[in-house]
Amino acid sequence: MKFPRLAVAAVAVSISSMAIAGPDDTTKALMNESVSLLDWGNLRLQLILNRRPYKGNYSYVDYDFDANTIKIAHLVDYKGSEEDAENYYRSWFASVREWAGYDKDGTVQATGSNYGLFANLYAHNGYIQGSREDLDSLLADLEKKFRLEVRHPLASGLMSSRTMMKCTGKLQGTEISISVE
């Protein structure tokens, strides 16, 4: 008779410990936050960029709250001259602009609208709240927020130098700016 009582006690203890198991306050706080279309679009764009050529390096997408821009950054461990780096930058900018649906003169052509392919990643698939014109206007405005940035250390090795060469520009257009920081 002692064995069944022990078994019942063990089951009761295991059931009561399962009842108190679960997420802590940190996990609950994260579970209660919904993902925005901005978060989702940034992630989708980042995944696409990191599947493209230039794989030896890393790209990320981030919203800059203060500047109200979406930064598409490309980190490079580049071991060439400054002149070669500038050619690399121009090549990367041209590639990203092409992936976004722009031609060489900076005009969007792939979508038949006034915004490129990247902006579409920030919309619902197949569902439009409001009119198509409202969505097109929203995405055209979003398209103006994309900024491209490439940076690399002037010394070999990504973390070995604090002096960085940096190239920035808008997704729309053809202009770039190169600086040393």
In tens, the pLDDT along 51-72 reads: 876 655 788 999 999 999 999 9
| Structural domain contains residue 99 | yes
Checking DSSP bridges between strand 69-75 and strand 146-153, what pairing results, if any? parallel
| Structural domain contains residue 13 | no
pLDDT of 39 reads: 94
Please give the order of strands across the beta sheet that includes 146-153: 58-64, 69-75, 146-153, 164-170, 177-180
| Residue carrying structure tokens 């050529």 | 53
For residue 122, the Cα-to-chain-centroid distance in whole angstroms is: 11
Contact 150, 89 (CB under 8 A): yes
| Structural domain contains residue 19 | no
What are the tokens at 114?
A: 């006034």
Q: For Cα atoms 122, 128, 134, give the angle at the middle one, nearest 5 degrees.
A: 80
Task: Report residues of the chain scoring pLDDT below 70.
Answer: 1-20, 53-56, 78-80, 110-111, 154-162
| Structural domain contains residue 28 | no
Per-residue burial over 58-87, b = 16 or more CB atoms within 10 Å of its CB, e = otherwise: ebebeeeeeeeebbbbbbbebeeeeeebee
Among 155, 164, 135, 171, which residue's Cα sits nearest to residue 75?
164
| Structural domain contains residue 59 | yes
Contact 62, 54 (CB under 8 A): no
Among 145, 121, 141, 122, which residue's Cα sits nearest to residue 133?
141
Q: Count of domains in the chain?
A: 1
pLDDT of 165 reads: 81
Cα(4)–Cα(71) distance, integer angstroms = 65
| Structural domain contains residue 168 | yes
Helix (H, G, I), strand (E, B) or coil at 53: coil
Instruction: Determine the length of the chain.
Output: 181
Kind plus residue range of the DSSP H or E element containing 147:
strand 146-153
What are the tokens at 41?
A: 């679009």
| Structural domain contains residue 14 | no
| Structural domain contains residue 8 | no
Domain membership of residue 64 as a residue range: 35-180
pLDDT of 113 reads: 78
